[in-house]
Amino acid sequence: MITKSKKQLVAIAALAALGFSAPTMAQTKDVVVTPGGVTPYVIDGRNVVARSGTGLCWRTGFWSPAAAQATMAGQFPVGCGCDGDIVPADKCKTPEATPTAAKPAPTPAAEKVKLSADALFDFDKAVLKPEGKQKLDQLASQARGLRLEVILAVGHTDRIGSDNYNKGLSERRAQAVKTYLVSKGLESNRIYTEGKGESQPVTGNQCNNKGGRAALIACLQPDRRVEVELIGTK
């Protein structure tokens, strides 16, 4: 998931890495998101949706057709300015719209890949297991099939341990994924990492009644993961 801090990281770092320039951005009308709630697109400090060098809006992990229609940019859904082929035309009627309008540019193809915890990391470890390397090999192959713009790697831990320790452990796990992907030929400046610690578990309350430390560790294994998102166009 991409929080405000993550959106700021990507918006700042990727602008330089991906060759954004003032002339390129001037050709595309800014989409300014109305503050409040969770946005399905990466935004900068002005609440303006970040775009690639080709003018495509960057989606976050919160993106869905419904979110693109529900989040507002002024009087129209934010998707009107980013995914006009997805949002119904009647929601995007503007004075300048005409029947002969140019066909929208291709929508970024975001492929969300969740690497399974048992294949990636043992408890309290940030060292990739052989099964995890196999999954990252598949991920690298997927990336080569895209016009890759950015890869986002977010590390997570289970709830065992202190907040500060788990934050650092999750960052090391995300970095381990980046290091391996770079070794497979992907560009380092296109891979951004972040650690969420124990703040976003996927196990919920299902492990609350597990007796004994070993049983609890086994039950919480799905939380020890790295989520990787590829953003690019086919």
Tell me the two tokens of residue 67: 């979110």
Last residue of a domain, one of 91, 119, 141: 91
CB atoms within 10 A of CB 148: 18
* Average pLDDT value for residue range 3-18: 47
Ramachandran angles phi, psi of 227, nearest 5°: -100, 130
Name the band, by pLDDT with cuts 50, 70 and 90, for residue 62.
Answer: confident
- Record the tokens describing residue 69, joined without a space: 């229609």
- One domain, residues 226 and 114: yes
How high is the pLDDT of residue 95?
Answer: 56
Place of tokens 């790697």: 153
Is residue 96 situated within a structural domain? no
- 212 domain residue, yes or no: yes
pLDDT tens sequence across 165-181: 999 999 999 999 999 99
In a domain, 68, yes or no: yes
Give the model's pLDDT for residue 178: 93
Q: Position of tokens 């890495």?
A: 17
111 Cβ contact list (under 8 Å, min separation 6): 142, 146, 229, 230
97 lies in a domain?
A: no
* Residue 129 domain boundaries: 109-233
Same structural domain for residues 46 and 139?
no
Same structural domain for residues 113 and 217? yes
| 55 and 165 assigned to the same domain | no
* 13 and 84 co-located in one domain: yes
Predicted confidence band of residue 189 (pLDDT cuts 50, 70, 90): very high
**Hey, is 9 helix, strand or coil?**
helix
The CATH number given to whatever domain includes residue 119 is: 3.30.1330.60
Judge if 126 and 217 occupy the same domain: yes
Of 37 and 187, the structure prediction assigns the larger pLDDT to 187
Q: Which residue has the higher pLDDT, 52 or 109?
A: 52
Q: Are residues 120 and 225 in the same domain?
A: yes
Establish if 102 belongs to a structural domain: no
> By the 8 A CB rule, do 225 and 116 touch?
yes
DSSP state of 110: E
Whether residue 99 lies inside any domain: the answer is no
When divided into structural domains, the chain yields a total of 2
Is 170 part of a structural domain of the chain?
A: yes
Q: What mean pLDDT comes out for the span 146-171?
A: 91
In a domain, 100, yes or no: no
Q: Does 124 lie in the same domain as 41?
A: no
Query: pTM score, two decimals?
Result: 0.53
Same domain? For 82 and 125 the reply is: no
Residues 81-95, mean pLDDT to the nearest whole number: 78
Average pLDDT, the chain: 79
Length of the chain: 234
